[in-house]
A and B are shown apart, each in its own frame.
Chain A
Amino acid sequence: MSKPANVVLLIDDEPKIRRFLRAGFELNSFAVLEAENATEALKLATFSSPDLIVLDLALPDLHGAEVLERIRAWSNVPIIILSVAAGEDEKVRLLQAGADDYVVKPFGMAELLARSEAALRRYFKSATENPVVVAGPLSVDLVTRTVSLNNNLVRLTRKEYRLLHVLAMHVGLVVTHDQLLKDIWNGNQRDNIQYLRILVRKLRQKIEADPNQPRLLVTESGVGYRLQNRLDAAPVAARVS
């Protein structure tokens, strides 16, 4: 790799968890920093300027949500939350508080890496970058507003495109219902999650091979939707080899 390694800060009080996270990230060419409590974490986040933070919610000295808030007060660094069976409400709250995504324990390394890379890509995205978002057979050109599936142009209604646009801007990351409703209906229909469900159903009919078994536009039950950018189960390994 030509560019210097991305630095990830792992914040978790369990050495067992940190151990395998370190191995997983190092094997995928990250440089790893570790913190076992919030105090240490905040210090490292401030002085070592990591490119990515993986934050566990259960810390001995401060709740993870508080740590998230304090870091977000001055930094946009991507933050992925680790949690043990968090309720949907809590996930939504954390996402609204500025977390980029979450994984629920127990999770696979491939899943965490996919989320991390999606968050990093969004963080480092620059103006000169290719404005075309590719997710499997689907590509979305954010400038010309064209959508194609297996190189065939897909015609979308304005609302459908807006939905896809918001998801494509966050490709690989979860987007909450609230944010989608806000962005698509300009805040006019914020309580009408039914409209969103129906819109998703219509969009799936146009972009999914089997709308009943969506692989591109997946539901995060109780939280929101995600545009998958990798379709196979073990994508990271394939890329590494």
Chain B
Amino acid sequence: MFSMTSVRQTDSKLPSSGIPALDEVASLRVVVWRNVIPVLLSVLSIGLVTTALFALSTTLASSLVPIAYLVPVMYAATRWGVWPAMTASITGTAAADFFFFEPLYSFRVDNPQEAVDLLLFLIVALVSSNLASRLRKETDTLRQREKEMHALYDFSRRLASCFTVADLISAIRQHFEVAFGHAATLFVTTADGHFEPPESRFAPLSVQATAAAMNSGAGPGLQTIVDEQRAEIWLLRAISSDSAIHGVIAVNIGLGSQPAIERRTRRIQSILDETALTLQRLDIGKVMESARLRLQAQMLRDAFHGTLSHELCTPLAAIQGSASVLETIPAIRGDARIRTLVEAISDEASHLDGYISNLLSATRVTAGGLSPRREWADPRDIVHGAITRRARRLSAHRIEATFADDLPLLHVDSGLVEEACGQILENAAKYSPSGSTITVDVRCEPHRVHVVVSDQGVGITADEQQKLGQRSFRSARHQASVPGSGLGFWIASTFIQANEGVITVHSRGQGQGTTVSISLPALEPSTSEPIALTDE
């Protein structure tokens, strides 16, 4: 095992190749690029301003000169920093003197007034370029910090959605690779205390062995390993909280000349320190535990899902199918009493099927498995589909659907939106007297389409309205009289939200009917026909 100090001794043993030289040349080129080009550009911009001033009449130009030259100075300061701005200030002063102040085409200044002007310009330019470049530096730092915060936030969010230790490792590895710019990995201690290496091909054996030792608490918390076989240098650092070591981060810092390696090592060590702190703060131990719990919950949910869809849906499909066969038999259709019985079987089975599919939708939503599959759809098709699919359950009510002319297409998952409209229609039917009318009004305004469902039913109190969005909420008024699971509205609003729509409920009060409005984003109604539709 190598310790921190051994790295310098082993450095010389690194296979020397053309790589370090190339590395240096490349970095030199970058330095030139970063420093010389902006200076040249700022001189060029002074030249541009001079040309522009020449294009104006001389009298006008001379009054504009000091102000005009401030423009490139400020630009250079905010864009490239202090040195290019200084260059611009000095070149600007010289150019103004040379081209615009008497005597022309000489650096001499005769008029004391003009000398003061030039001096003032130089001072203002230098001071403001300093100020502007400082501002720029601060903005850059802020921006950098914001980026880091974003990355950190994303990282913690990813950690929170991990199911397994493997997920966790891959999340952390990705974060490292972004943060370090080098291949990195995490060796973890799991809940039962033993060490679990990631894909073994990723890190060389010597690194794995050292990491395992560090995980069990042996050796210092920070080590450097040189793997001769692969000619790689690895930095290892243990992450621990007061109780235990949670894992070891290993970063492959690659190859390079000695100063390059040292520079890189310093930089990565500082990031490592920060990352170790971050991981401690995020309490990686707890994160792993909750990942395990989530995995279990997910497995339970999947099992529930599977059981529901197989053990309940298959018999139900058999019942419904059998009833539908009976319905086709002339002798049964001819006998009113038997026919009502068969119809009752069908109705009840389809009710039961509705409940089961609601439960399935609800598990789908809570499992986070709702990924809308969007495509262009006609709102008429969606609403019509919702009505016809539930024709049987809506048969006791009059459904009046009106559609605005020239409805735009919607870019939605039509299955989800249709289901949501269906849930709303079903609720309207459930909570309004048989024989009453339910109106569906589909209208559009710029960029939105509204589907407004109104009934003449029991209405909603202000108190109920507040709780409406909750899963499984059912008003005490209807617990006994109207069957239901309280999932319908919740499913509808989740499905609509998944399509970037909004669902609102309005009722003038108890007994005054309810109006539910679904609003979805849309294209502009196209007045001109797409070219592809015209007949050739």
Contact = CB atoms under 8 A, between A and B. Distances in A.
A111 to B, nearest CB: 8
A232 to B, nearest CB: 13
Contacts of A241: 330, 333
B384 A198 contact: no
Interface string B321-335: 110110111100100
Interface string A177-197: 000000001001100111101
A220 B260 CA distance: 64
A221 interface: yes
Interface stretch (A14-22, A66-74, A141-149, A166-174): A14-22
A211 B529 CA distance: 19
Contacts of A222: 373, 375, 413-415
A108 to B, nearest CB: 4
A109 B403 CA distance: 33
A194 B380 CA distance: 14
Interface in B293-326: 309-310, 313-318, 320-322, 324-325
A28 B385 CA distance: 29
Contacts of A28: 328
B464 interface: no
A168 B526 CA distance: 29
Contacts of A108: 320-321, 324, 327
A24 to B, nearest CB: 4
Interface residues of A, number: 51
B357 interface: yes
Given A84-B313, A159-B535, A109 B325 contact: yes
A84 B309 contact: yes
A200 interface: yes
A197 B410 CA distance: 11
B313 A194 contact: no
B381 interface: yes
B380 A212 contact: yes
A84 B320 CA distance: 14
Contacts of B413: 222
A24 B380 CA distance: 34
Interface string A208-241: 0001111000010110000000000010110011
Main secondary structure of the interface of A (DSSP, over half): helix
Contacts of B536: 158
A106 B353 contact: yes
A110 B328 contact: yes
Nearest to B529: A198
B30 interface: no
A199 interface: yes
B309 A198 contact: no
Contacts of B317: 17, 84, 105-107
A14 B376 contact: no
A228 B118 CA distance: 88
Contacts of B316: 106
A17 B401 contact: no
Contacts of A212: 380, 384, 401, 403
Contact of B318 (A17, A199, A213, A240): A17
Contacts of A236: 328
Nearest to A22: B325
Contacts of B330: 237, 240-241
B373 A88 contact: yes
Nearest to A219: B381
Given A17-B317, A106-B317, A221-B381, A195 B325 contact: no
Given A158-B535, A192-B530, A213-B401, A221 B382 contact: yes
Nearest to A204: B380
B384 A16 contact: no
A212 B385 CA distance: 11
Contacts of B309: 84-85
Nearest to A158: B535
Question: Which of the listed residues A16, A19, A200, A234 has the most CB atoms from chain B within 10 Å of its own CB?
Answer: A16
Contacts of A27: 325, 328-329
7 shortest interchain CB distances as A-B pairs: A108-B324, A16-B318, A106-B317, A219-B381, A106-B320, A105-B317, A24-B325
Interface of B: 309-310, 313-318, 320-322, 324-325, 327-330, 333, 349-350, 353, 357, 360, 373, 375-378, 380-382, 384-385, 401, 403, 409, 413-415, 418, 526, 529-530, 532-533, 535-536
27 contacts: A14-B318, A16-B318, A20-B321, A24-B324, A24-B328, A85-B309, A88-B373, A106-B321, A106-B349, A108-B321, A109-B321, A109-B324, A159-B533, A192-B532, A194-B376, A194-B409, A195-B533, A197-B409, A198-B409, A201-B380, A212-B380, A219-B381, A221-B377, A221-B414, A222-B415, A237-B327, A241-B333
